[in-house]
């Protein structure tokens, strides 16, 4: 029997933004490309690796996305559940619905030359998640629940993205 996989593992380039030994601080950025909207990336191992490289024994780790159409979510990485989520969010916030954000006859703020039609992705982000989550680190371990994973949700379309992981403590 082949195991279905609900999420992808990020592969991309790493940049270290900050590091210190006393107190222990390490901030890394992972740059990667998503493939489509409604996609989930499992960042759990990456987060654990950053904490290990930071040498934080007791503290916290924050995972942050600087994009307004993505979210960081703590939940189960199980294909059936994530497919249920995709169907539910599509029903609540259909991609082909009317969004004033996409109506350039009305909208006058924050417009760009290459503006995406993505009002649905902004609404989905506000409903489902947050730009950041913080998780305790105790004895060098990221304290996730038995089934919890750190998930990066792409809610827009295939794009170049980044995620920032900041570990700090002693």
Asked if residue 110 is part of any domain, the answer here is: no
Convert the pLDDT of each residue in 70-100 to its tens digit.
Answer: 999 999 999 999 999 999 999 999 999 998 8
Domains in the chain, number:
1
What is each CA distance from 61 to 41, 75, 106, 148, 149, in whole angstroms? 18, 17, 41, 15, 14
Report the distance separating Cα 159 and Cα 136, nearest Å: 30
- Domain with residue 141: its CATH number is 2.60.120.460
Asked if residue 67 is part of any domain, the answer here is: yes
Asked if residue 6 is part of any domain, the answer here is: no
Give the global pTM. 0.88
> 121 falls in which pLDDT band (50, 70, 90)?
very high
Asked if residue 108 is part of any domain, the answer here is: no
- The boundaries of the domain holding residue 137 are 13-99+115-169
Asked if residue 105 is part of any domain, the answer here is: no
């Amino acid at each position: 029997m082949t195991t279905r996989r609900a999420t992808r593992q990020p592969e991309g380039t790493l940049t270290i933004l900050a590091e210190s030994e006393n107190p222990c601080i390490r901030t890394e950025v992972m740059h990667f490309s998503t493939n489509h909207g409604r996609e989930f990336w499992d960042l759990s191992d990456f987060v654990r690796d950053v904490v290990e490289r930071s040498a934080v024994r007791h503290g916290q780790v924050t995972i942050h996305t600087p994009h307004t159409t993505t979210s960081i979510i703590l939940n189960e990485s199980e294909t059936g559940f994530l497919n249920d989520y995709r169907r539910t969010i599509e029903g609540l916030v259909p991609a082909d619905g009317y969004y004033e954000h996409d109506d350039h006859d009305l909208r006058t703020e924050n417009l760009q030359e290459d503006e995406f039609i993505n009002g649905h992705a902004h609404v989905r982000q506000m409903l489902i998640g947050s730009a950041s989550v913080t998780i305790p680190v105790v004895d060098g371990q990221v304290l996730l629940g038995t089934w919890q994973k750190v998930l990066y949700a792409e809610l827009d379309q295939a794009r170049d993205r980044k995620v920032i992981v900041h570990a700090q403590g002693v």
